[in-house]
Structures are given as C-alpha cells and as structure tokens.
Amino acid sequence: MSQARELLRSVRNLTLLRDLANTGGGLDSIADLVDNFLDSEAMALCIERFRRLPGGAAMLEQRYPPFQPDVEALERLPQGSLGHAYAGMIRRLNYDADFFRPRDTSTEALWLTQRIATTHDLHHVVAGFSTEPAGESGVLAITATQIGFPAFVLLNLLAGFRSFRLQPKELELISRAIAHGNRIGLQAAPLVAQKWEEGWEKPLSQWRSELGVQVAAAEPFSATY
C-alpha cells in the first residue's frame, strides 16, 4: 500500500510540475505541491533533519507559536533592524497580511510546512536575495539544502530544467543563484530554526554575522533591504 501511495504521489507531482512549468509558478500549484508531500516519506525525512537542528526538536514539540508579524509595529523599529527591513519589504511588495493567519499545525508536518511558508519571505531579507525568479530559487535552495524540504527540492529542479529548455539565457543566472543558496545552506546556521520574533530589533547586519550568511551583493539576483 505504501508503494502504491508513493507512486500516486509521484504522478500527482508530475502533473503539478507540468502546470507550474506552463504557468511560470502559480501560487496555488506551489501550495498543492507542498501539500502533496505532507504525509510522504520525503517529508518524514525532512522532519527528522529539522529535529536534529539546534533547537529544532523543542520547536516541533512545543509547536512554536505561528509566525504573525505586526507589520505596523515593525515599521517603527530603527532603520537597519531586521524588523524594519522586513516590514519595508512587505509594504513595498504589497503582500497580503492575511497570509499570516494561523492555520492547522496539529501535526509536525503541518507545523513545519506552515513555519517554512510564513518565514520564506524573511529569508529573502536575511540572505539578501531578490524576489525575482532567480532570487526565489536562491532562497528555496537554502531550505532545500539545510533540511531537504521536498517541494523546494523539486521546484529548483524545475527551475533549472525550465530555464535550460525554455529560457536558456536565464540558465546561468538561475544556476548561480541556486549555487549561492546552496553555499549559504551548507555554511550558515539553519535559517528555518531561528526564532526571528525574539530578535526583530537586532540589526540585520548582526543577524547575518551571527548566522554566517554571506550576501552576494554584486549579483543580479541580490537585493538590498
């Protein structure tokens, strides 16, 4: 039964990847891809990797509270702080605050998926990646490298293949962004296990120094926050 379930999951993943390739990355299809892995063997391995991170087991067992940033309060923090930089990004891109509404976190897979989804944009700020396609791939690479989040692994495989097949001029940029994200993932402290909410006022530069994050400021996929 397990093999049959995994086979059906693989077929579903191929369908979702085809849709993503055709649409260029629709949010609904990405969410479906993430959800398709919730009860998978790949997700179980991802959870185990997260559990072995410093503080990871405690966050899982406590179901560390949902990520619910008060953007207005963060805007009032000093310039250069993590919170102020993050709030500026959210305002500039006009992101929907309702995205952070608490969701079901009754299982470890649901909690970890929710935590990754809601803190993904913050990883852009900390790692200095833009929100353009190459920057997105770079950020996905960090989490894919550090804990093997299955949907992000597949999305970057798709990004590389799609650029090779349909946009060959973008392949080098996508590849460099993913390589830099992989490098951060291997060298830096695990971003997904950080309690950002307890250090909004800390300077962004200090966060990067303490985590060991090196920003590729001269690259086209980088951004200043």
**Token digits for 121?**
């944009």
Q: How confident is the model over 63-105, as pLDDT tens digits?
A: 999 899 999 999 999 999 999 999 999 999 988 766 766 788 9
**Token digits for 119?**
């803190």
Nearest to 43 by CA among 147, 189, 165, 176: 147
Question: What pTM did the predictor assign?
Answer: 0.86
Query: Residue 1 has what pLDDT?
Result: 44
Query: Residue 66 has what pLDDT?
Result: 87
Query: Residue 9 has what pLDDT?
Result: 56
Nearest to 109 by CA among 64, 191, 43: 43
- Where does residue 191 fall: left (phi above 0), alpha (psi -120 to 50 degrees), or beta otherwise? alpha
Is residue 34 within 8 A of residue 113, CB to CB? The reply is yes
Query: Residue 33 has what pLDDT?
Result: 81
Query: Residue 2 has what pLDDT?
Result: 67
CB burial class (10 A; 0-12, 13-18, 19+) of residue 36?
A: buried
Separation of alpha carbons 19 and 30, rounded Å: 10
Query: Residue 32 has what pLDDT?
Result: 79
Query: Residue 8 has what pLDDT?
Result: 55
The structural domains of the chain, with segments of one domain joined by +, span: 34-211
Is residue 73 within 8 A of residue 67, CB to CB? The reply is no
Query: Residue 95 has what pLDDT?
Result: 84
**Spans of the chain, pLDDT less than 50:** 1
CA distance to 14, 16, 27, 164, per residue, from 21 (Å): 10, 9, 12, 12
Separation of alpha carbons 180 and 164, rounded Å: 18
